[in-house]
Structure 1
Amino acid sequence: MTRDSTARSARATKYQYVQAAITSDFGREAAGTPLPPESALCERYGVSRITVRRAIHELVQQGILTRQQGRGTFVCARDGDTSHPNELVDSRGLFTQMRDQGFHVSSSVLFQDVVVASARISQTLHVPAGSEVVRLDRLRSIEGRVDHLTRCWLDARKYRGLLTYDLADQSLQAVLSHDFAFTPRIGQATTRIVEVSGNDADHLGLVPTTIRLSTFMRIYGDAAHPEVCTETIYADAQASPTFTYISHSSAGKDQP
């Protein structure tokens, strides 16, 4: 292992350790329980503010925590399922949020075209079996290092126009809000562990069949069914914090 890859692994381990620790320490608290201030969490876990913010951001995306602007961060309601509905108080998307926090974020588009929806995607988006959907695959890097691969699906009847956009360097959520009159309001995340194989493993720099954390997100606007669904696979993970987190969040039946 090179010095650079060792440093990269250490950085990944820190925020994933904090994710697991916050989940363990606060995940079973009553819904609405506030988290301590960031400064207190930094002292508690012996990490930097950037690491705490990254860990909290991931837990918000996964529905474990919720942020309320001007008030703080709180524990979400839970029902024993793997799906965690969460109000999207910040609809800028990960790309814009991370950039606004001072991180250097870049994306490369791996796939952007219309495909026939699988049974799972048809059911999730509430479109007829065999319908066409827009699929967008992007590889995200943060501070110059590959962080995750995100795959998005949208109903082609509404969003075929996305094929004309260069989405390598802008937020999909921002484009949907500005040009397609879609404002995301609720996110419902399901977290699981997956074996990463084939091209996904190659893009993430992983050995095939490596176990990694994956999040499947359903994003709702004002309609009763999701407008967008996404699957994110993370490049870095350490077995101990990942499995500590999974053991807390996967005790349900709704695995996509």
Structure 2
Amino acid sequence: MIDGIPKYVTVRDNLRERMRSMDPGERLPSESDLCEQYRVSRITLRHAVEDLIQEGLLVRRQGRGTFRTEGGPNTEHEVISDHILGFYRQQHDLGNVVRTKVVGNELVSDPEVANRLGLADDASLIRIERLRYVGSNLKQHVVTFLPATRFSKVLREDFSNGSLYAFLESQYAVRLVENEIVVRLQPIHDDIAGYFGVDDGTPVLAMDSTVFDEFGSIIAFGVALHPPRDAEVRFVIRAQKDVGPVQE
């Protein structure tokens, strides 16, 4: 481990950065070359690569190697896995052009949401409302709530281009490790129906998301709504690997 972080995570994150400069369809160096570059075992490297395959960033082709994902419509769907990237970083890493329209970023009071965040009923909350596009296609309407006393800088930030989660990590040293998802159908009304171009009361796919840090504190609660024409989310569920008594 490095500073308490498993070595495969360090390798995985570095590979993710490297892939941003790779062309779609470009082949990764051989497994032996990567093991030598990172000075890790094959088990550690395979763990890192497998995570990126699950995220949709890499594809393994039998007998040929592992390649950068080609991109295209099949990579635009959100993927829920055990890596807390958020929509912006996930789509950006896939090579997609991500655009965000910030509808609102304000202080509010909402006892029900405050309770979801583990706060008192009268706690001050930051409410961020955004429309998320991949290319020209609207993929999400998302409202995210955060504790105002802890994350006040969020109110001064423009999230039209960038990741909220990356901002929290860089500005507040938050490490996001768990995302509890509830998927349901929800009828939509008023402005949201207009955004999606559907009739008032149309049921859409809704995802409630509660994000935790490494200490078990609730960092954010959000609700993402997906337009009916594009209501597909892929879940990646992976069993915890038994790495034995010694961890790299």
So what's the TM-score if we normalise by structure 2?
0.62
Partner-residue secondary structure (3-state), 1:98:
helix
- Alignment partners' CA distance in 2, 1:112 and 1:235: 22
Matched, 1:216 2:204: no
Q: Relative to 1, partners in 2 of residues 1:111 and 1:49: Cα closer, same or farther, differing over 3 Å?
A: closer
Q: Which runs of 5+ in 1 are unaligned?
A: 1-33, 41-47, 67-86, 246-256
Candidates 97, 107, 117, aligned match of 1:104: 97
- Alignment partners' CA distance in 1, 2:196 and 2:147: 27
Matched, 1:196 2:188: yes
Partner-residue secondary structure (3-state), 1:92:
coil
Partner-residue secondary structure (3-state), 1:199:
helix
Q: Relative to 1, partners in 2 of residues 1:193 and 1:38: Cα closer, same or farther, differing over 3 Å?
A: farther
Please show how residues 17-28 of structure 1 align to structure 2 within 5 Å. Answer: none
- How far residue 50 of structure 1 moved from its aligned partner, in angstroms, is 4.4
Residue identity opposite 2:227 in structure 1: A
So what's the TM-score if we normalise by structure 1?
0.60
- Alignment partners' CA distance in 2, 1:54 and 1:136: 23
Contact kept, 8 Å, 2:146 with 2:220, in 1: the verdict is: yes
- How far residue 54 of structure 1 moved from its aligned partner, in angstroms, is 4.3
Residue identity opposite 1:155 in structure 2: P
Which residue pairs with 1:117 in the alignment?
A: 110
Q: Which runs of 5+ in 2 are unaligned?
A: 1-52, 62-69, 235-248
Segments of 4+ in structure 1 off by > 6 A? none
Candidates 130, 133, 137, aligned match of 1:145: 137
Q: Percent identity at matched positions?
A: 16
Residue identity opposite 1:102 in structure 2: G
Q: Relative to 1, partners in 2 of residues 1:131 and 1:53: Cα closer, same or farther, differing over 3 Å?
A: same
- How far residue 137 of structure 1 moved from its aligned partner, in angstroms, is 0.5
- Alignment partners' CA distance in 1, 2:76 and 2:134: 11
Contact kept, 8 Å, 2:106 with 2:128, in 1: the verdict is: yes
- How far residue 139 of structure 1 moved from its aligned partner, in angstroms, is 0.3
Residue identity opposite 2:111 in structure 1: S
Which residue pairs with 2:148 in the alignment?
A: 156
Which residue pairs with 2:228 in the alignment?
A: 236
- Alignment partners' CA distance in 2, 1:204 and 1:53: 21
- How far residue 237 of structure 1 moved from its aligned partner, in angstroms, is 3.7
Task: Considering Cα pairs closer than 8 Å and 6+ residues apart, tell me whether 1 or 2 has the greater RCO.
Answer: 1
Give the count of matched residue pairs: 171
Contact kept, 8 Å, 2:139 with 2:230, in 1: the verdict is: no
